[in-house]
Amino acid sequence: MARVAIVTGGTRGIGEAISLALKDMGVTVAANYAGNDEKAKAFSDRTGIAAFKFDVGDFDATQAGVKAIEEAIGPVDIVVNNAGITRDGTLLKMTYDMWDDVIRTNLGGCFNLAKATFPGMRDRKWGRIVNIGSINGQAGQYGQVNYAAAKSGIHGFTKALAQEGARFGVTVNAIAPGYIDTDMVAAVPADVLEKIVAKIPVGRLGQASEIARGVAFLCSEEGGFVTGSTLSINGGQHMY
């Protein structure tokens, strides 16, 4: 019987690439999305992957969303916490809502999905959780105290939960992407983007498929001895 995976933010950008990579592995994928019904339908029509709408930052909505997925597809074996938002601004200009929105979605979403799925993985003695962090959670970034804090929190969350899951066959890992060629990065002004690329030793932006391949390995049977790790995929931009 095929494994079942939830990929949050799984219908666009890096999330879409992850959903497709897991499907190619023979996994039955449920792609979560938050708002754009039209694009989610187009994604499902194009890929054959079912899309489920709920706000990962809302605890009750996430519990209900996971229950709906399990009723429709089966018990969840794999969770990829990819959903994330930005509300950038320096601390002097950042409102509490800008702070809270990002922490609630980017970090709170990891807790909410794990709370809904980790007990079942533990009971069945097999599970994979992969949390998508960021180079900016490792190195910091001007104007992103909210985003950097949330992503840095993901890395700590990963290490702690990995210790709870290890003896039950549940691995918990993180991936910290660098600058990836997505719609979000494409919106950066050309002159700014040129300066960003100049700081990447390999001399280019990453591709969403490169992140997806890392996720696929960590979610595989072969990845069972890797837990509590953060895999940096950033073209050498930040090494530590």
pTM exceeds cut of 0.85: yes
Q: Which is more confident, 32 or 188?
A: 32
Q: What is the pLDDT of residue 21?
A: 98
Q: Point out the catalytic residue in the list 33, 147, 179, 240.
A: 147
> Long-range contacts of range 18-22, CB-CB < 8 Å, 24 or more positions apart?
18/80, 18/82, 18/211, 18/212, 18/215, 18/216, 19/47, 19/49, 20/47, 20/49, 20/212, 21/209, 21/212, 21/213, 21/215, 21/216, 22/78, 22/80, 22/215, 22/216, 22/219
Residue 9, pLDDT above cutoff 90: yes
pLDDT tens digit string along 167-202? 999 999 999 999 999 877 877 788 888 998 999 999
Q: What is the pLDDT of residue 13?
A: 93
pLDDT tens digit string along 42-89? 999 999 999 999 999 999 999 999 999 999 999 999 999 999 988 999
Distance between CA 150 and CA 67 in Å, rounded? 26
Q: What is the pLDDT of residue 214?
A: 98
Instruction: Report the amino acid identity of residue 126.
Output: W
pLDDT tier, 240 (very low <50, low <70, confident <90, very high otherwise): confident
Residue 155, pLDDT above cutoff 90: yes
Respond yes or no: is residue 179 known to be catalytic.
Answer: no
217-239 average pLDDT score: 95
Residue 12, pLDDT above cutoff 80: yes
Q: What is the pLDDT of residue 141?
A: 86
Q: What is the pLDDT of residue 147?
A: 95
Count Cβ atoms below 10 Å from residue 7 Cβ, excluding itself.
Answer: 33
Contact criterion met (CB below 8 Å) for 175 and 215: yes
pLDDT tens digit string along 94-130? 999 999 999 999 999 999 999 999 999 999 999 999 9
Q: What is the pLDDT of residue 199?
A: 93
pLDDT exceeding 70 applies to what percent of the chain? 100
